[in-house]
């Protein structure tokens, strides 16, 4: 699976209405840790396959969703399941730590 691109326009359908858990990476182009985080998210998306969706939302271009999720700094990760946030992580996380944190929400 590849990392999806979320926007204010598609967020409700792609994330809140998803049938599987969705890991959303709130990021910004100017954020160096965000670029590092992107590599781990790409690997995680591949590993999770159809069990979950992984995607990114650029905070600078999508203020409505950024404000709704009260994102104050990036990187900011939110795991959404059943239309609600079940886990939030602030700061950069290596792949192993991401796996560990999302695993309980995937039924593993």
34 is catalytic: yes
28 is catalytic: no
Determine the Cα–Cα distance for residues 35 and 15; give it in Å rounded to an integer.
22
Residue among 18, 31, 95, 106 flagged as catalytic: 31
Determine the Cα–Cα distance for residues 70 and 85; give it in Å rounded to an integer.
12
Residue among 4, 15, 34, 79 flagged as catalytic: 34
What is the end-to-end Cα distance of the chain in Å, rounded? 18
Backbone angles phi, psi at 71, to 5 degrees: -75, 120
Tally of residues, the chain: 108
pLDDT tens digits along 31-87: 999 999 999 999 999 999 899 999 999 999 999 999 999 999 999 999 999 999 999
Q: Which fold has domain 4-103?
A: Glutaredoxin (3.40.30)
């Amino acid at each position: 699976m590849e990392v999806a691109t979320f926007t204010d326009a598609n967020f409700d359908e792609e994330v809140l209405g998803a049938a599987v858990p969705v890991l959303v990476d709130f990021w910004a182009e100017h954020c160096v840790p965000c670029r590092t985080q992107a590599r781990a998210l790409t690997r995680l998306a591949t590993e999770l396959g159809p069990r979950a969706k992984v995607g990114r939302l650029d905070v600078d271009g999508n203020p409505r969703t950024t404000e709704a999720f009260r994102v104050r700094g990036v990187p900011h990760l939110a795991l959404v399941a059943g239309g609600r946030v079940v886990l939030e992580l602030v700061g950069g996380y290596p792949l192993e730590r991401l796996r560990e944190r999302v695993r309980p929400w995937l039924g593993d």
